[in-house]
Structure 1
Amino acid sequence: MAKLYFRYSAMNAGKSTSLLQVAHNYEEQGQPVKLYTAAIDDRYGVGQITSRLGPHREVDVFDRDTDFLAGVPAVACVLVDEAQFLSKQQVVQLHQLAQVRGVPVICYGLRSDFRGDPFPGSAYLLALADDIEEIKNICSCGKKATMNIRLDPQGRRMREGEQVSIGGNESYRQACGRCFYMG
């Protein structure tokens, strides 16, 4: 029985690396996969899943108009990076792909933003996913990181702003709950 999986973490935990490894494992066994990333994420170019360790791959993008039920060909698995940017309808579609069509779907993304608020896509993945896994990361203090902190260009913590602001290590860092609230 196929499932909808949600693998989440704070920033910089290796979500994209893990996704690329899963894709490689399927393809090494002759199993075709379909990979997606959010069109809004242009850090390494639109349609690129890139690991901070170096591996990268050109993939399809999703945006608010993407219909996963209509657009996914026959594949062994669907892999979605930056899943926090999915809409409720898209999460439902991915759940239907797994439950009705029997295609495993593995989504990777952030659970919450820099204010501690859930991303809509993540909230619905937490509600509908058949299997939920936290990918572990550590805070600079050594505790498990579960939160994200946004930084301004001078490296100071930001507590207000738009929920979505694309950036990498220069704009975000992971933190444990204590450092998130104390910092």
Structure 2
Amino acid sequence: MRPLTKIGLGLMALLLLIAAGLVAAYWWPLLPLQTVMQHYPLATRFIMLGLAAIVALIGVIFLLVALLRRTTHRQLILPQKRGQVSVSQQAVENAVTRAVKQQHDVRAVDVQVALNQRDGARAKITADPRSPTDLVALAKAIEATAKQQLTNVLGVPAKHVKVSLKPAT
């Protein structure tokens, strides 16, 4: 998840938690509000309290997602001997797509790469093989090609590569 998205989700979660607290404080019978609440039935208060609890739960879930989800980047900055190299996500995806198409008998290849500064790259490859024979071996070969392309050619450490093949028939 990108840092700006995490900040936005965190702010939204905090606003939801504040809203839930205000709604719960308004509908729970406090002394100044008790005279106003006498005109409403008891069921209405519990319904509003339940809705406030649901909003608070959604706020807590948003806050946990914003805090605990990994941060991904569009560019990965790799330190080199003479400085640093910036590798974009789209360049990595295009290079892996070209390598898989050149070395294997597939029609369409879709590569999605998530770049993480600490872990390197995680790739998810979906391909349409031209022939339906020995898909397991083809998947392993595509995975090896993608790892080799990421690690040796691009210099991006490959943590995990997942290959999905769509059968031709």
For the pair shown, the structure with the greater C-alpha radius of gyration is 2
Instruction: Calculate the TM-score normalised by the size of structure 1.
Output: 0.22
Q: Relative contact order (alpha carbons < 8 A, sep ≥ 6): 1 or 2 greater?
A: 1
If each structure's helix is expressed as a fraction of its own residues, which one has the higher value?
A: 2
